[in-house]
């Protein structure tokens, strides 16, 4: 496991309730899978009900924050009588090491699944150094 992956995993704060109330509506901590391959780390976040207009990914200093807002999708003119699906927002923050190239972070949202691709910075990549003989 790379050092960058371990840094991401160390910063997650486990909770017993999996949600917290910080506004007038519930805020959930989205479930995230982290994958590493070569020079990239991929974060896959489940945020059902969030579309591309209601997702925000920000990077401030070394903190990467993911926010998603769910818009209530009840049909117009209807009132909710019973609901098993809880409406709320999503928020999660990760601390990034200097190994991540901040200019090459990509985000794609498909059907409520956010995929973030983090590329290693050039200075963090391993490279072969040529050795020359001196006569």
pLDDT of 3 > 50? The answer is yes
Q: In what order do the strands lie in the sheet with 26-28?
A: 19-21, 26-28, 89-95, 63-68, 55-60
Residue 84 confidence (pLDDT): 79
Query: What proportions of the chain, in percent to the nearest 5, are helix, strand and coil?
Result: 15, 40, 50
Average model confidence (pLDDT) across the chain: 82
Give mean pLDDT, residues 1-15.
49
Residue 32 confidence (pLDDT): 96
Domains in the chain: boundaries: 3-9+24-73+83-124
* Alpha-carbon distances of 61 from 100, 102, 125, rounded to whole Å: 12, 9, 21
**Architecture of the domain delimited by 3-9+24-73+83-124:** Sandwich (2.60)
pLDDT of 15 > 80? The answer is no
CA distance linking residue 106 with residue 64, whole number of Å = 12
Residue 10 — pLDDT band, cuts 50, 70, 90? very low
- 74-103 residue pLDDT tens: 788 888 788 777 788 999 999 998 888 889
pLDDT of 112 > 80? The answer is yes
Residue 74 confidence (pLDDT): 74
Residue 98 confidence (pLDDT): 85
């Amino acid at each position: 496991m790379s050092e960058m992956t371990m840094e991401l995993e160390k910063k997650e704060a486990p909770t017993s309730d999996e949600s917290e109330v910080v506004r007038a509506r519930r805020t959930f901590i989205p479930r995230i899978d982290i994958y590493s391959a070569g020079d990239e780390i991929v974060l896959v976040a489940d945020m059902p009900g969030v579309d591309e207009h209601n997702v925000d990914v920000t990077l401030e200093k070394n903190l990467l924050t993911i926010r998603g807002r769910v818009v209530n999708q009840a049909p117009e003119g209807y009132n909710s009588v019973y609901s098993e699906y809880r409406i709320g927002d999503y928020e999660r923050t990760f601390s990034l090491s200097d190994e991540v190239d901040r200019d090459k972070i990509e985000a794609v949202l498909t059907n409520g699944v956010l995929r973030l691709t983090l590329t290693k910075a050039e200075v963090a990549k391993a490279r072969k150094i040529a050795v020359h003989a001196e006569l």
